[in-house]
Every structure is written in structure tokens, then in C-alpha cells.
Amino acid sequence: MKSITTLFVLVAFVFGMIFLPNMSQAAVQESTCYFSVLFNENKIPSDFSAKLASYGGEITYTVPEIGFAQVKGNSEMFSELKSFSSVNLVNPSVSWSMPEVKKNGLKSDLTLDTDQSSLWDLEWDIKRVTQNGASYHLGTGSHNVVVGIIDSGIAREHPDLVANLLPGSKNFVPAGGYRNTEPYETGNTGEYDDRMGHGSHIAGTIAAHGKMLGVAPDTGIRAYRVFGESMAETAWIAAAIVAAANDGVDVISLSQSGFDLIGQAFCIDPLTGKKVALGNDIADFLAYKKAIRYAINKGSLVVVAAGNEGMNLTAKGNVTDYLNSIYGSYGLNFVGAGFEVPGTVPGVVTVSATGPDDTLALYSNFGPGFIDLAAPGGNISGFLEYQQNGKLDEYYEKELYKSEFCLSTDNHGDYSYNAGTSMAVPKVAAVAALIIDKYGQIGPGKVAEMLYKKSIEPVSGKEQSYFGSGRLNAVKALTD
């Protein structure tokens, strides 16, 4: 039944396209517990592995460049780790989830000529950014510039992506996948194929060149896979950010989001049941921030999503209330001021999402001083209206999602529709790549400045809290 199938697909797109971190119950309920450890220095102490083993624990993943590790052991390990002099922060590991992306079954035969791009008329969002393809006459990018996509991988044989997928893609999902629940994961670094579809959707938005066209259809792309088919660990994501920076990628597209705290975080000790103070930061989120800073210092521009909670993230108490509502059942409690990560990390480009009418998407986070600029990510207003009126069958029969969701490549050689701030991020990453291709290696700070001052349709007043400096425009970015 088409209507039921589509319902589940679209609901997943609407409510989960940004990766929301979920505190794993494994740390409390299972005999094997996982903990994130941030060290005082940007390295893994030489005696840490042996010391950990003496308590019956072992290291599962390390990111030595930022002094971060994930370990596993029994519930007693939490208290032991907190006592290590080399350890700055430790907490039960935070995991990151993403809903499965489904193909929509579009089939259709193409070149850079938009008249011969058989899906061009469905790309309302790409048309909006490129001014109906006008920016292609000013620049389409080249393989001299690389966008690193930290996501669920890329469909390496998709006909629209294969020409721009450069060597060097990597997999960061270890053997066994998420906590040994994915036996098909081998840990082979070359296995970057997309099992979920999200990363392939991002890739097509940036650099598709076939039946559909991306914003920068001749730009080089590379996959850094951090998702299998379920959850990802913070350590995998941090390692991918560091690796992308070490590989010299020019732009990192990062459609993930979490939160940090100035105040106090508490958790329930899984052994004693007592409330334990974790400090001002959770190790996972601070490691995330350190990895981002590492990449920026290496010369990579990092473009991130504002998130899909539909909140004013600069309003006092909003983030803290949200954290407590999400993580309270996992034994975590937060007091103080909360901030989105990595959107508030200095130097990143934080992107909100707009719909077909250029207004802020219903799900998009916003806030004065938080949003840097906006790009089309699709909207859900029509979907919700039909849902509330009990007319979803009519919504699907009329294919109304085509006018508010964003079309891009999927992981099966076909195409799918999505909505979310995840869909806005790659458009900005693509325009940043076009700027670098035209003006050279001017550094992430200068590229960001050109995005904010040159590559937008400016806004003022209250709209700045929604759209930052303005709405993305590739023609303006490339016009002298």
C-alpha cells in the first residue's frame, strides 16, 4: 500500500533528518558498559591501556589528535576512570542516531545542460540557490576542491555521483559496527558504501552530475562514513573530522547536532545509583568541539546544521529544558545554560533551513547570533496540514511532497525526497567549494566571510534571527 509506506518514509524525513544524540541505555542496563574519556592532553597516555586492563577494561576507539577515547568495561569502571589523574572528563558514551532513508522509486536518462537534465524540473531547491541554473555559467567547480562528507557514506556507483567521487574515501565504523550489533561490518577502511541513504542524498545536493544536478556539479567529493545501519559513536565522528582535515579537504559538510552546557551536568552512577556531578561539559560534546577546532586550524571550512528541534536556541533555558526532557530517562540531569554543538563552535558556518516560499522551515532551529545563513532544506507545512485533516492519501496521490521536500540521489542508484537542516548544509558547502575554486586557497575564515557578505540575499531586523546574514545565492557568490 503506497500511502502507508510513504507515510513512514516522510515521517522519518520530517522528524529525524538531523542526528539527535541518544544516551545509550547499555551503560546502565548491560553488564558491558561504554564510557567516553577525554584526557587532559591531546594524546592517549602511554600507560592508559595497561592501567585500564588492570581493572578489566579495554579501549574500543581512540582519537589521539584530540586526546579522546571510548572504552568498555563493567559498571564499576565509571568510578575508576574518574579517579585517573590523566582524565579530564568521563561519562557514559553518547550515541548518535539517524533514521533510515528510503528511495522514492524515481526512475528516469543526462549532462550539464539543464534542458537535458530529466529531473531538473523537480529540483526547486537547487534552482533557488543557482537562480534557475544561472550560476552554472559562472562556475561549476572542479576536482581541485574537495568537499568531505561526514555521514553515512556514498553510493560509489551512482551514475550521478561517480564522476566526482574522488579517491581517498574512508570508513570509520569498526568491525562489528555499533557495539557489536552489526556483524556485517568488517572495519575495512575502504568500505564507505552508504547503507542508509542520507550521505548519498547530501552528496547529490553538492555534486550530482547526471539526471539531476547539484549546486556544484563538477566539484570533488569524498566520503567519511561514520554510520552503519543504526547508531554511531562520538569517537567515530571525531576521528572522521580529524582525518578529513588531515587529508586536506577544503570543506567539511557535517549534518549533525548536539548540545553543550555551561552550568552543571549530573548522571546516576550505574553502580551505586547515586547522583554524580559530571562538570560543565560532557566528554562527548567537548571532544566534538575539539575535533571541529582541529579541522578549522588545519584549513578546512566546517559547515554544520542548525538542527531540527524547531527551537530558538538563544532563548534562556530552552536548550537545558530540552536536554532534561530527552535525557532524563537515561539518568542525566542538566542545570545551567545549554548551547547547540557544533553550531556555536567558533569558526563553523551554521545553517538554518527554508522552504519553497523562502520562510523558515517549521522544524528549523533559529536564534539571533546563532544562525550564520540560510539555505533551502524543504518544509513540512503541507504534509502536516494534510495529516491533521486526515488526508494523507490525497497528499501522496497528488505527489505534493515534490513541491516541499528536496530531491537528491539515494544509495540504490535512484533518487529520494528529504526535508531537514541536513538538506540545507550541503548547499552552503557546495557554494563554499565554488568560492574556493574561483578565488583559490584563501582560508576558511575568508571563505566564511565571503559567504556572509557576498553569497547571500541579505536580510535585516528580526529576519536575522532566522536567516543570519541572509539566504544563500550562488550567482552572487560567483559574480565579480
From 125, 151, 218, 410, active-site residue: 151
Compute CA 448 distance to the chain's CA centroid, rounded to the nearest angstrom: 18
Specify whether 151 is catalytic: yes
From 24, 255, 352, 422, active-site residue: 422
Specify whether 414 is catalytic: no
419-169-140 Cα angle (round to 5): 60
From 36, 93, 95, 198, active-site residue: 198
Reduce the secondary structure of the chain to three states and give it as a string.
CHHHHHHHHHHHHHHHCCEEEEECCHHHHCCCEEEEEEECCCCCCCCHHHHHHCCCCEEEEEEHHHCEEEEEECCCHHHHHHHCCCEEEEEECEEEECCCCCCCCCCCCCCCCHHHCCCHHHCHHHHHHHCCCHHHHCCCCCCCCEEEEEECCCCCCCCCCCCCECCCCEECCCCCCHHHCCCCCCCCCCCCCCCCCHHHHHHHHHHCECCCECCCCCCEEEEEECCCCCEEEHHHHHHHHHHHHHCCCCEEEECECEEEEEEEEEEECCCCCCEEEEECCCHHHHHHHHHHHHHHHHCCEEEEECCCCCCECCCCCHHHHHHHHHHHHHCEEEEEEEEEECCCCCCCEEEEEECCCCCECCCCCECCCCCCEEEECCCCHHHHHHHHCCCHHHHHHCCHHHHCCEEEECCCCCEEEECCHHHHHHHHHHHHHHHHHHHCCCCHHHHHHHHHHCCEEECCHHHHHHHCCEEECHHHHHCC
Phi/psi at 169 (nearest 5 deg)? Answer: -60, 150
Residues 1, 9: contact at Cβ < 8 Å?
Answer: no
| Residues labelled catalytic | 151, 198, 422
